Structure 1
Amino acid sequence: MFLNDAGLSNIVIPKLKPITFMKHLLSLFLLMVFNHAFTQSPAYITTDKAIADIEQLIATFENVHYNPYFKTSKKVINTIKDEQLSSWKNDSVPMRQFIGICMKLTAMMSGGHSGMNWQHAKLIPEIKAHVYLPFTGKLVEEDGIFIVTKSGLSVIVPGMKIKSINGISVVKLFKECMAYSGGIDAYKIANVERAFPVYLFFNDSLKAPYSIAIADSDELFTTDGIRIAELAKILNSSVKQVDYSFDILDNNIGLMAYNSSNNYKKFNQFLKATFKTIQAKHIDKLIIDIRANGGGNSSLNDLLLSYITTKPYQQASGRYWKVSEESKKAYANNKVYTKLFGKDFMVKYMKTPNQTVIVDLDSTGLVQPEKPPYYFTGKTCLLIGPSTFSSANFLADAVKTYQITTLIGSPTGEYTNDFGEQISFVLKNTKSEVNISSTYDIGANGNDSIMAPVYPDIEVATDVLKYAMNWLENNAEKK
């Protein structure tokens, strides 16, 4: 049994309605408001109300989350919280500072699904008025370097290594920003890379103008920075535009980009058309790329797998449902939960005592795929990476566990056993929105104590697609 620090008792309710594992990834959206002047009006909240909301935040996590202290102990979190609260000597604190500490506390209790929504209405004037760093990049941990991946400056280009900004180590700044994001380090790095300048908004140590030191050089470059609208264009460049697509590479290799597990009916139609094309064009090699897939509805994964395997498998082996009064109210107020999990289960949940756990290990079972028309008999591989998350992580886990095909790339951004089913709550005083996971989902192999991501069969850090193409041509065996 997975260790639960809260000391909860478990109630076993066998043979519940089969679960559709719906996962929701908290996406980082940029606020873009163009029709107002750039006037900064810092928002404040009274200190006593800020403290009350932080206490509510932690108490709600303890009530709702299966195990909020799975990676950071309660003692450590309380110490960090108390140090922050004791530093507030004035009658009020900046809303930006309040949101920042809530993001950090939430991240320490999050596997990636739980999170604090930083886009508070009272922060909009400051978000608009702030002057942002005009580039983002990734942290290469093993080398301890920061590499630019997107830039709005002609002198700072992708691939360039940056040493410091305003005399502060950029690696140090990046790691500080990672503290705002939940999940394992690989996921944090990928998440911060997508919006590094936005995370820096919450860091008081860095302000425009920005003096940028290039690595392995004495050269310094200074920029005044950019506004949110221009930054959004940079960060959103090269962002995937479609949930799934298909291309033919080198006239004989199919490439399916499976970027989002959304819209079952549409995906079913897409798969039928795609595999019909594959058969018509006599393509016998297929790359399935889920490196950008942040999740959705795992039932779509079953559709996909039916075209490439006849092996029995399961994407998950069970679920532990934390029962709380907060979750009961959320479930009662949203009919989608009854639709997803069934009326009988919802009745059982409502009648189950709070602060206990419903153990559902009998409702999944192995899936026996049935061959659809245009079933694929050629060579396949699956590309994974740190942005492979949530329901996409389920897919990678099933493929790995049951050896359905070969995984190529980097470890996924989430543990195979993870926390799901977000429920949204609003803090009483600031009206800040918080999303908290309410279940603990067990991976494909059924071992509920594993805390590890899905590792690829072949680890490749760069030029993953090129490697996969060469591998299919030269080394792959039929799957």
Structure 2
Amino acid sequence: MMKELWLLAGLAGLALSAPAHAGGNDTVPADAVAADVAEWRDWLFATHPQPGFSMDVDTVNAGFDAVIDGLEGDYTRREAWLALSPLNPLFNDGHVAIRLPQEAYEADLAHGSSAFTLPVRLADGRLTVAGTIAADSAIAPGETILAINGSDTRTLVAQALRRTHGDTPGLRAHLVETRFPQYLWALTGSAPSWTVTLEAPGGQRREVTLDPAVDRATTASSNWNLAFRDAAAILTLNTFAPTVETEFKAFIDQAFAEIAARGSEILIVDISANGGGAHMLSDHLLAYLTTQRHTPLSAVTARITEQNQALIPGSQIGDVMSMPFARWVEPPAELANRFTGRTAFLVGAGTYSQAIVLAATVQDFGIAPVAGPGTQGRANSTGQVQLHRLTHTGLEVAAPIYVFIRPSGDTSSAPVIPDIPLEGPRETQIDALIAHLREAATEAD
């Protein structure tokens, strides 16, 4: 029974998929938006199995009341999101949110609005040009972006952070950084072009109107990648999305065949930008790294829904049940191309959901050390995110029906703390991690 319960509990990642219905510029009055807020509150507390796991319930309820009291006039869907989304940080969970109206953003782009294409980095409220800027752009990495279409970027960033979901301020900053074009649109609306005020490290200032053909990131990030540095293999896995399970497993099979053919003695599994997905994919990966029996969790708290009621005899819809639970995985005793060298997992602010579960599993069972700055999400995670569309605004809200406890049984709200702490850019971390693993191998010999 519990195996089937786990299969229903694949952890959702951070991606905000587009709702099913288009938005548009129609408006709804304040009393209709207020009704949606009340609907959202009722649905959230009837869905989440343990709201106090991440949020202060009294603070959240006060926030709901304050939002309702502040509503006046008429609202488009984008404006309604701006009014309601200051509740997002109060939930302290990447799986609880009122979601950006992505379909309205895409509709604006389809009707001639310009996309903001400049890749950015965010630190201490300061927005800079990311190192991924295309080489043919006249804009240089590291330049500070002072203003966009005349709006001060520190103000824009502060407004975005006030409306972003996520476990911690660090995770919220990561989401604003990686989804900045959508947040910029939500805050300022559509624009035919974007002009940025830049400041070079030397203090020189200039204005540039973005050319989407050149002022862009070098390439779009791929789901997976395998690279080599001498005898070290770097396996980058940016998603465990169940929709690409077949392709993922084929890639992993081929990757470990190539790692074996190269005779690699060191393997870094980079999940620093992996927002999560389903355990079937990470289980397939772990089969190539260990023969050790392992479980990704030790206990679960579940809200009983129509989806899982039949799996728990005697339960009633709406009940909340907490129980010890382990989903033991038995890797095959023999597997071609299983890696037996030194392995480490690289995590970061972008590691979330099932990727955090994986990092906690390899750490708790000693399968491999975890390296990097650590995660910004908690090691204990919520899962199986439910979506609900609000009646009047058409906005979507999200909440989980499971809370999972890591294999060690630690019930704290701590993140995954790295065994090998590393800071700096990704490439610097990888170089340092390779050197660390080589030194450890030399000492072992």
2:163 corresponds in structure 1 to 180
- Cα 1:49–1:319 change in 2 (3 A) is same
Decide whether the 8 Å contact of 1:137 with 1:147 is kept in 2. Answer: yes
Mapped contact 1:307–1:371 kept (Cα < 8 A): no
Moved more, 216-225 or 109-118: 216-225
Match of 1:436, SS?
A: strand
- In structure 1, the residue matched to 2:421 is 459
Q: Does 1:469 align with 2:431?
A: no
| 1:421 partnered with 2:384 | yes
Q: SS of the residue aligned with 1:55? A: helix
Q: Which residue of 2 aligns with 1:412?
A: 375
Give the partner amino acid of 1:27: A
**Paired amino acid for 1:103:** S
**Secondary structure, aligned partner of 1:374:** coil
1:116 corresponds to which residue? 98
The 3-state SS of whatever aligns with 1:135 is coil
Structure 1 counterpart of 2:207, from 194, 217, 222: 222
Q: Give 1:7's aligned residue.
A: none
1:256 to 2:243 alignment: no
1:315 Cα deviation after fit:
1.5
Partner of 1:352: 315
Deviation digits for residues 41-81 of structure 1 (CA, Å, limit 9, x no counterpart):
84311222111111111211111012335444344334444
Partner residue of 2:225?
245
Q: Which consecutive unaligned segments of at least 5 residues does structure 2 have?
A: none
Distance 2:28 2:313 in 1: 36
Whole-Å separation in 2 of the counterparts to 1:265 and 1:30: 23
Q: Which amino acid aligns with 1:257?
A: T
- Structure 2: distance between partners of 1:215 and 1:389: 34
Of stretches 363-372 and 274-283 in structure 1, the one that deviates more from structure 2 is 363-372
Question: Aligned partners of 1:223 and 1:83: how far apart in 2?
Answer: 40
Aligned pair partner of 1:362 in 325, 341, 345: 325
* 2:384 counterpart SS class: strand
Secondary structure of the structure 1 residue equivalent to 2:398: strand
**Structure 2 counterpart of 1:306:** 287
SS in 2 for 1:138: strand
- Alignment partner of 1:67 is 2:50: yes
1:25 to 13, 38, 42: 13
Give the SS at the match of 2:216: helix
Q: How do 1:56-135 residues align onto structure 2 when only pairs under 5 Å count?
A: 56-90=39-73, 92-109=74-91, 111-119=93-101, 126=108, 128=111, 130=113, 133=116, 135=118
Q: How many Å separate the matches in 2 of 1:80 and 1:232?
A: 43
Shift of 1:395: 0.9
Bigger Cα displacement from structure 2, 419-428 vs 79-88 = 79-88
**Which string of whole-angstrom CA distances, capped at 9 and with x for unpartnered residues, describes residues 275-316 of structure 1?**
333333322221211112221221332332232233443211
Q: Check whether the contact 1:419–1:438 (CA below 8 A) recurs between aligned residues.
A: yes
Q: Deviations over 1:385-433 (max 9, x none)?
A: 1111111111111122222222221212321111110112121123322
- TM-score, structure 2 as length reference: 0.83
Instruction: Tell me if 1:212 matches 2:197.
Output: yes
Cα gap change, 1:57/1:107 in structure 2, threshold over 3 Å: closer, same or farther? farther
Residue in 2 that maps onto 1:399: 362
Once the 2 structures are TM-superposed, how far is the Cα of residue 192 of structure 1 from its aligned partner?
A: 1.2
Shift of 1:455: 1.7
Q: Counterpart in 2 of 1:340?
A: none
The change in CA–CA distance for 1:80 and 1:203 in structure 2 (over 3 A counts) is farther
How many residue pairs end up in the alignment?
A: 429
In 2, Cα distance between equivalents of 1:193 and 1:351: 46
C-alpha separation in 2, matches of 1:123 and 1:387: 23
Counterpart position of 1:9 = none
Residues 153-201 of structure 1, C-alpha deviations (whole Å, 9 max, x = no match): 9454222234555776534432321233221223222211112132022
Kept after mapping to 1: 8 A contact 2:299/2:323? yes
Q: Percent identity?
A: 21
SS in 1 for 2:186: coil
Measured against aligned partners, the alpha-carbon deviations of 1:436-472 in whole angstroms (never above 9, x if no partner) come to 2111111121123x11211222222221122222223
Distance 1:104 1:416 in 2: 25
Shift of 1:351: 5.3
- TM-score (normalised: structure 1): 0.77
Alignment counterpart, residue 191 of structure 1, candidates 159, 169, 175: 175
**Letter of the 1:285 counterpart:** I
Give 3-state SS (helix, strand or coil) of 1:62's partner. Answer: helix
How far apart, in 1, do the equivalents of 2:214 and 2:402 lie? Answer: 34
Which 5+ residue runs of structure 1 have no aligned equivalent?
A: 1-13, 32-40, 332-344
Are the counterparts in 2 of residues 136 and 195 from structure 1 also a CA contact under 8 Å? Answer: no
| Alignment partner, residue 47 of structure 1 | 30
Q: Which residue of 2 aligns with 1:11?
A: none
Matched-pair contact (CA < 8 Å) for 1:311–1:369: no
Which one of the candidate residues 352, 375, 378 is aligned to 2:341?
A: 378
Q: Check the 8 A contact 2:268/2:344 in 1, yes or no.
A: yes
Per-residue CA deviation, residues 205-246 of structure 1 (Å, 9 max, x unaligned), is 9988756252766544334567xxx499936x533223x332
Identify the range of structure 1 (111-120 vs 148-157) with the bigger mean alpha-carbon deviation.
148-157
1:320 aligns with 2:283: no
CA distance in 2, matches of 1:379, 1:120: 42
Instruction: Note if contact 1:379-1:478 (Cα within 8 Å) is conserved in structure 2.
Output: no
- Pair 1:287–1:216, CA change in 2 (3 A): closer
Structure 1 residue 101: Cα displacement? 2.9
Cα pair 1:147 1:161 within 8 Å, conserved = yes
Q: Alpha carbons of 1:55 and 1:197: their partners in 2 closer, same or farther (altered >3 Å)?
A: same
Whole-angstrom CA distance in 1 between matches of 2:345 and 2:102: 38
2:236 corresponds to 1:273 = no
Q: 1:378 to 1:88 in 2, by over 3 A?
A: closer
Q: Distance in 1 between matches of 2:329 and 2:444?
A: 23
